[in-house]
Structure 1
């Protein structure tokens, strides 16, 4: 399990590995508060992304909380909250 914080760059990498990107979307831009659908990521792509995050970070993300993470910022915060809990256990 990795104890380091999950960052926007980490998320960009996982998104690209899990689902690729639409040629019209610039993941290098300021995307923190863009809805994942605006970025071209549907629920299946986000489930694959979450699965990769869970495997690489050694955490388990609650499906309901994951469904509520509609933006990169919300997903990053969710992952980091789980990392914090895992580090204290």
Structure 2
């Protein structure tokens, strides 16, 4: 199980692996506060992203979290809160 902090680089990697990127969208730019929709990620892509995060980080994310976290910053914060709350393996 991975226990390190979830970062913007982690999110970029998972977004690209799961849904790719729209042409003309620079995920390497300053995207922390850009809405996912403006980045070309609709609800289905975010559900896939959430599933990948859950598998990789061994956490469970509420579906509402994926709807409410409309920017990379919001999603990263929510994932890190879950990681802090998750029980640690001995």
Q: Tell me how far apart the structure 1 counterparts of residues 78 and 35 of structure 2 sit (CA, whole Å).
A: 15
Residue in structure 1 matched with residue 54 of structure 2 by the alignment:
54
Tell me the residue number matched to 2:41.
41
C-alpha displacement of 1:19: 0.1
Q: Which runs of no fewer than 5 residues in structure 1 stay unpaired?
A: none
Find runs of 4+ consecutive structure 1 residues off by over 3 angstroms: none
In the aligned structure 1, how far is the partner of 2:40 from the partner of 2:63? Answer: 20
* 2:63 aligned with 1:63: yes
Task: Please give the per-residue CA displacement for 1:23-44, whole angstroms capped at 9, x wherever unaligned.
Answer: 1100000000000000000000
Matches of 2:63 and 2:21, distance apart in 1: 23
Give me the whole-angstrom Cα distance separating, in 2, the residues matched to 1:36 and 1:44. 12
Q: TM-score, normalised by structure 1?
A: 0.95
Distance 1:81 1:65 in 2: 12
Equivalent-residue separation in structure 1 for 2:19 and 2:49 (angstroms): 7
- 8 Å CA contact 1:3, 1:87 repeated in 2: no
Q: Which residue is 2:84 aligned to? A: 84
